[in-house]
Structure formats: C-alpha cells, structure tokens
Amino acid sequence: MITIKEKRGLSAEDTLFYAAGIAIFVIATLIYLWPSVKIISLRREFDRVESERKDLSRHNSLLRIELQSLRSYEGIENEAVKKGFRLPRRGEVIYIETEPEAK
C-alpha cells in the first residue's frame, strides 16, 4: 500500500527548502520593485504639488490685480459706492478758511 508521503514524493525538508526558495524569491522581487513603486508614488506627489503651485500662482495673480484695482482711485470709489457711500452734492461741502497761526 502507498502512503501519503510516498504519493507526494516530498519530504518535510524538501517542502521547507521549496518554501524558503519561494519566500526568498518573493522578498527579492519586492526589493527589486520597491524603488519603482516609490518613484511612481513620488511622481504622483510631485504632480499634485505642482498642480497646487500653479493654482496658487494663478490665485496670487488675481489677488495682485484686485489689489491694484483697489489702490486706484476708481477702485476705491467703486468699493465705496458698493458700501452705500456717494459723492457729495453741490452745497453739501462747506469750506472753512482759517488764518495761519502766529508763531
């Protein structure tokens, strides 16, 4: 009669040897592929940061344009009108003349 061991044909030492060989192969493959995976990960991170930099640069340009418009007299006047201010009508401004102080 044939036993299970004879049918398989592998001893415990052979099984351990093949398992160790497969483990070494898997570890070597992971060590070989790790730099490629890391490079891909870094590339994605770089692309994300570059996209964010471009968006921030575009936003910065828009803010600079807005700042320039707010610094101009027309920009100040437009903002004042939006907030409910208006230019004084004729007769609403009174000029008071004073004499210079004697020293």
53: containing domain: 10-82
Question: What is the three-class DSSP state of 33?
Answer: helix
pLDDT at 55: 97
What tokens were used for 25? Answer: 């192969």
| Residue 102 belongs to a domain | no
- pLDDT tens digits, one per residue of 49-79: 999 999 999 999 999 988 887 788 887 888 8
| Residue 103 belongs to a domain | no
> What proportion of the chain, given as a percentage, has pLDDT over 70?
89
| Residue 98 belongs to a domain | no
Q: What is the mean pLDDT of the chain?
A: 87
pTM of the model: 0.47
Q: How many domains does the chain have?
A: 1
Q: CA dist 17 to 8, 10, 30, 96, Å?
A: 15, 10, 20, 106
| Residue 25 belongs to a domain | yes
| Residue 4 belongs to a domain | no
The answer to whether 81 and 74 have CB atoms below 8 angstroms apart is no
| Residue 78 belongs to a domain | yes
- Distance from C-alpha of 20 to C-alpha of 29, rounded to nearest angstrom: 14
